[in-house]
Chain A
Amino acid sequence: MNGAALLSVEGLVKHFPVQRSLFRLGRGTVVRAVNGVSFELRTGETLALVGETGCGKTTVARAVAMLYRPTTGRVRFRGQDMTRLRRRGLKAARRHIGLIFQDPLSSLNPRLSVARLIAEPLAIHGIGSSRQRRERAFELAAAVGIAIGDLDRHPHAFSGGQCQRIAIARALASDPALVIADEPVSSLDASIQSQVLNLLIDMKERRGLSYLFITHDIAVADAIADRVAVMYAGRIVEFGGRDEVFHHPVHPYTRALLDAVPQLGGDRGKARSEPTEPPSATSSPSGCPYHPRCPKAQALCKETMPDLTSPGGGGATLAACHFPD
């Protein structure tokens, strides 16, 4: 829990250019998907990034994995700045990162057998002979609960839950230090969700993994996270230990988010904020991006963007709000 920083993200910004027409007329606008995100992930912990669809959490995950080159900012992983790595260095670093995606079926190449899928990270990094890789795939399949007799079949022959187990096995194949899981259970049925979550927790304990866990589902984050970062409009608005954030939220947005979840929010009563239009990623308002929806918004909120700081109630939580609870 209190290990050194395995991953530290500093001032991450990712803008996507918008191509407006076939002929690229007009000046380029950008989608500001991630607008200055910083956090640390310690060895052995699970950090959950939570937020609504479109808040930029998937972009953060993909930028950390260098699937998108960050516009600015740093991503330090095991002491190396990933944004400065090229080809060989990046490839070497990627061996230590496992990836799990939301849609298990579409994250598995339909043309490859399950054995090849699981062993692919090993093949990419040239680990072992093909026979050894196949044996390793068998071990991993057994560890995630896939019958060994099925390994020569293709992903279409498996259910969503089984596919996600296969994806987990693949993510673990090269013995990564960090696993980035982007909504790994949200496309699964509720009963399967808890099985896969338990598998992830189990794997983490046995293999000493660290998770960067992206989810929109507060209950899932509550079940797996050690610490939680709440994102809104491309920024982290609240950051702290799971229990503090979920039981004593200080940012009005976190509170609104929790109010939408009955079993966690308890008897806080009706949602305090009237959810309006989610912010447009191309034209964000000045000041605090949440002010148009915020019940506590004042003149200051429309002008100045609050920093992510300790609100001073004695807790370890950080919040980006001028008027925290």
Chain B
Amino acid sequence: MTRFAVTRAIEGLIVLLVMSFVVYGLIGLMPGDPIDLMIASNPKLTSADAQRLRALYGLDRPILERYLNWLTAALQGDFGYSRAFARPVLELIGPRLVNTLVLMVASLTVALIVGLAAGLYAALHPRSLIDDLIGYLSFISISTPTFWLALLLMMLFSVVLGVLPASGMPVGADTGLGERLRHLILPVATLSLASAGGYTRYMRAAMIETLGQDFIRTARAKGASEMRVVLRHGLRNALIPVITVIALDFGALFSGALITETMFAYPGMGKAIYDAIMANDFNLALVTLLFATLTTLVGNFAADLGYAWLDPRISLAAGRAGT
């Protein structure tokens, strides 16, 4: 188990390192470069100045060398300055990361409760009217563009009903908790509705598969109560594949968070990434992207550990010979 965790952690770090290089390279390919932008904002700079500045910032060096310089600085906690905000990138990231985690954790919780419950119910009542209904709703959930879902919810709750704010999470420290929560409702609803359909489908399929297996029949034959069979034997085994899928879906969840944050002007990492890229804020874009990757990798890692914890074969395998 420990060895498994360590291996996965190392793999995650390698992915992060590779991603940092890829993203560094891609960011360098975005339109304009920092010196051009400086020249644009300061007409007194000549092309000779530009050359000197380029050399000063090391922008005339090969990409690998620039990357290694960046990496060395980054590993010492220096991620550079945000051009748009004129502040160290790291300072900007903290509150946004918290906001995104709040959004993602809240949405994941809602989506899991809704999805797993609906999937479980559908699996226990296959081919019933409610099963059909759940099937269609989850189908619509996986087929609807998240940004359009956000538009529809805005239209319904802000425009037609006028009960919820469409955007603009208040940032000030004096904002009351209630006001903050009110601003969270639509983003969380969007993101959880977008993910719940997938979870429902996985859960239903896994549960139906599990309930058809021999050990369930054995448990029933032994006279265990239906509740016990379903919850103790069925659910635990059905959750194993579901957790894997949820782990693989963390990246998608973050993508959904980006859309949701952008739509509702919610000040999180996703919106920061989008804004930074649109504003050519290279340092901020680079670091927010890497933090996004890190977030999903950590989520993945946690789910992997949960998987190992739930699946008895993994912990037992080390001490057992043969198959």
Contacts and interface: CB of A to CB of B under 8 A. Distances in A.
Interface of A: 18, 20-23, 25-26, 29, 280, 282-283
A189 to B, nearest CB: 33
B4 A29 contact: no
A25 B323 contact: no
B55 interface: no
Contacts of B320: 20, 26
B43 interface: no
B317 A29 contact: no
A19 B164 CA distance: 55
A186 B7 CA distance: 47
Nearest to B7: A23
Contacts of A280: 322
Given A20-B320, A23-B308, A23-B317, 14 more contacts: A20-B323, A21-B313, A21-B314, A23-B4, A25-B3, A25-B314, A25-B318, A26-B318, A26-B319, A26-B320, A29-B322, A280-B322, A282-B321, A283-B322
* Top 3 A-B residue pairs of the complex, sorted by shortest distance between their CB atoms: A21-B317, A26-B318, A25-B318
B156 to A, nearest CB: 45
A26 B322 CA distance: 11
Give chain A's interface secondary structure class.
loop
A280 B321 CA distance: 12
10 contacts: A18-B322, A20-B323, A21-B314, A22-B314, A23-B4, A25-B317, A25-B318, A280-B322, A282-B322, A283-B321
Interface of B: 3-4, 7, 308, 313-314, 317-323
A25 B322 contact: no
A23 B314 contact: yes
A25 B4 contact: yes
A26 B317 contact: yes
Nearest to A282: B322
Contacts of A18: 322-323
Contacts of A283: 321-322
Contacts of A26: 317-320
Contacts, number: 30
Q: Which of A18, A20, A23, A282 has the most CB of B within 10 A?
A: A23
Given A21-B313, A23-B4, A29 B318 contact: no
Contacts of B319: 26
Given A21-B314, A23-B314, A29 B3 contact: no
A248 to B, nearest CB: 38
A279 to B, nearest CB: 13
Nearest to A20: B317
A20 B321 CA distance: 9
Q: Which of A25, A29, A283 has the most CB of B within 10 A?
A: A25
A280 B322 CA distance: 10
A26 B4 CA distance: 11
Contacts of B322: 18, 29, 280, 282-283
A20 B317 CA distance: 7
Nearest to A280: B322
A22 to B, nearest CB: 8
A29 B321 contact: yes
A21 B321 CA distance: 12
A90 B321 CA distance: 37
A266 to B, nearest CB: 40
A29 B313 CA distance: 17
Contacts of A23: 4, 7, 308, 314, 317
A278 to B, nearest CB: 15
Nearest to A19: B323
A27 B4 CA distance: 14
Nearest to A26: B318
Contacts of B323: 18, 20
B74 to A, nearest CB: 31
A33 to B, nearest CB: 14
Nearest to B322: A282
A23 B319 CA distance: 14
A19 to B, nearest CB: 8
B309 to A, nearest CB: 13
A20 B323 CA distance: 6
A282 B320 CA distance: 13
A23 B304 CA distance: 11
A26 B314 CA distance: 10
A76 to B, nearest CB: 34
Contacts of B317: 20-21, 23, 25-26
Contacts of A22: 314
A23 B321 CA distance: 15
A20 B314 CA distance: 9
Contacts of B314: 21-23, 25
A18 B320 CA distance: 12
A104 B323 CA distance: 30
Nearest to B316: A21
A23 B317 CA distance: 10
B197 to A, nearest CB: 27
B11 to A, nearest CB: 11
A320 B318 CA distance: 37
Contacts of B3: 25
A21 to B, nearest CB: 4
A18 B323 CA distance: 8
A23 B320 CA distance: 14
B203 to A, nearest CB: 21
Q: Which of A18, A20, A283 has the most CB of B within 10 A?
A: A20
A18 B322 CA distance: 8
A25 B5 CA distance: 12
Contacts of A29: 321-322
B2 to A, nearest CB: 11
A23 B305 CA distance: 12
A283 B322 CA distance: 9
B304 to A, nearest CB: 10
A26 B1 CA distance: 11
